[in-house]
Structure 1
Amino acid sequence: MSEFLGSSSPLVSSSSHKIVYNNKVLEFHVIRSYRRKKTSEISVVNGLVSLKVPMTTPIQEIESLITRKANWIQQRICEQNNPYITIKVPTYSTNSTLPYLGKNYPLKIIEYDLSLLEFSNDQFIIYTKKNNIKRLYEEWLYRMSLSIFNPLIERYSQILNVTPKKVLLKKLKSRWGSATHSNIINLNIHLLKAPIDVIEYVILHELSHLIERNHSHRFWKLVSDNMGDYKTKKRWLRINGPYMM
């Protein structure tokens, strides 16, 4: 089944498909877009598989890509159907929840002329008359991130004996952080949705790149020497990550 989203000259179309792989039916949703020129992108969220492709991509090419990635897709689906998932995807509606430091806190929305967000007594309260719940929440994450990130950056910088040139906060869609060759550390504000120990792992990971630039054996030994259980944090992030961005 296919449908077009837009006006009489659609920029996006969507359709549902399925293939059989290893005697199992694998269903997936294809989103075609004229804005996407070359690359394709696969995502698995809530057990649902989506594939974003350029508008003119042949269905045979799409099915071939899904087949090549089938093992990876099935692994992600299995991971997401397990009790280790703790983060709920926000709907930004009253009586829903917003994630913060690994927990899901109740959200209460109160109609008010001014727009502001309060977090107290383990509850988010947003005062607004506008449809800006997500923006207010993400602005709050920006403000809170400095008080959470800075002590951890200082701690692990001292442990590793490194000095980042600067730390930048960004709203990223596919990475939790990065380290540039000029020693600038980028951190994703959505990390504030993860538990503190997971945030520590990401910060240690990126600061370790100031010593070892790639993911070599030496890099992972450096991480392991300073956080022996880093694989547990890495796994939590891989499983819950799709619900946080």
Structure 2
Amino acid sequence: MRKYDSIKACDRTISYEIIYSKKRKRAAILVRPDLRIEFRAPQGLNVDIIRKMVERKAQWIVKKLEFFEANRLPDPSKQYSEGESYLYLGKEYPLKIVFKNSIKKPLALLKDSELRVEIPGNTSEDQIPFLVKEAIWSFYSERAREEIEKLLKIYSKKLGVVTPVFKVKHQKRRWGSCSADNVLRINFQLIMAPPDQLEYVVVHELCHVKEKNHSLRFWKLVRELMPDYQVHRDNLKKDGWKYVL
């Protein structure tokens, strides 16, 4: 059985859902990352008593709300919860969350056709999505770094240039860039794309080491290194909206 109530405290209205359970022996308050507040109550606990308990915990609740408001997950469609599907090199993997008492930091890996995230066994429920996000971003960043480094070594040799310094970045509006001093920046979320699309972006930015604009000479270089680049460029334009964590 569920009920809804609210109180005014700490200069704001705190609205919460009361969830009764026959199995529960002690009351508990849970503040979720999506800013929902749940009061989990033993069966029959009086609403007035619950309200007083919420009032006593108001400062704690508001601190939690402020934390989650300041640290919103980057994509509302991703809740970093078990069963969600995540792209990796163009293939989809369901997210599996595993609690392990033997670890202190979250860890992500591909295992048994799943994106598996291991988190410490004592993690509180409201912190799970943040640790899962941390593990996935770290895993994707490191895998992107490895793939980009391999591609740059191959194509730098073909282009006849020294392998440039590169950085793996989270960028909202671009897949890659090349600075005036030839430092490449590649969006790590490209590790979600099929390999050819990541390869195209690496080739594109590498060619800017020789040609800083998008002149005919620039596109000639790109075509020499990757004759079918246009296909992968078009696919990236069409499907790029999917590559968001």
The 1-side partners of 2:89 and 2:145 are apart by 14
Deviations 1:120-170 (A, max 9, x none): 122111123322222210111122122211111000001111124411111
Q: Does 1:109 align with 2:108?
A: no
Q: Please list, as runs of the form range in 1=range in 2, the aligned pairs for 1:51-62 lying within 5 A after superposition.
A: none
Give the direction of change, closer, same or farther, for the CA distance of 1:217–1:229 in structure 2 (3 Å limit).
Answer: same
Larger Rg: 2
The 2-side partners of 1:239 and 1:127 are apart by 33
Q: Secondary structure at the match of 1:214?
A: coil
Unmatched segments (≥5 aa) in structure 1: 1-7, 9-88
Q: CA RMSD in A?
A: 2.1
Contact 2:79–2:129 (8 Å) recurs in 1: no
Q: CA deviation at 1:90?
A: 4.3
Question: 51, 75, 81: which is aligned to 1:93?
Answer: 81
Q: Does 1:242 align with 2:241?
A: yes
State, as a whole percentage, how many aligned pairs show the same letter.
Answer: 33
Q: Please list, as runs of the form range in 1=range in 2, the aligned pairs for 1:127-206 lying within 5 A after superposition.
A: 127-128=118-119, 129=123, 130-132=128-130, 133-206=132-205
TM-score (norm 1): 0.60
The 1-side partners of 2:183 and 2:205 are apart by 10
The 2-side partners of 1:102 and 1:237 are apart by 11
Contact 1:90–1:98 (8 Å) recurs in 2: no
The 2-side partners of 1:177 and 1:127 are apart by 31
Q: Does 1:229 align with 2:228?
A: yes
Question: 109, 119, 129: which is aligned to 1:118?
Answer: 109
The 2-side partners of 1:123 and 1:155 are apart by 30
Unmatched segments (≥5 aa) in structure 2: 1-10, 12-76
Equivalent position amino acid for 1:204 in 2? V
The 2-side partners of 1:120 and 1:110 are apart by 12
Contact 1:166–1:183 (8 Å) recurs in 2: yes
The 2-side partners of 1:235 and 1:174 are apart by 17
The 1-side partners of 2:154 and 2:163 are apart by 12
Q: CA deviation at 1:191?
A: 1.0
Q: How many residue pairs were aligned? A: 160
Give the direction of change, closer, same or farther, for the CA distance of 1:148–1:165 in structure 2 (3 Å limit).
Answer: closer
Q: Secondary structure at the match of 1:158?
A: helix
TM-score (norm 2): 0.60
Contact 1:165–1:182 (8 Å) recurs in 2: no
Contact 1:90–1:99 (8 Å) recurs in 2: no
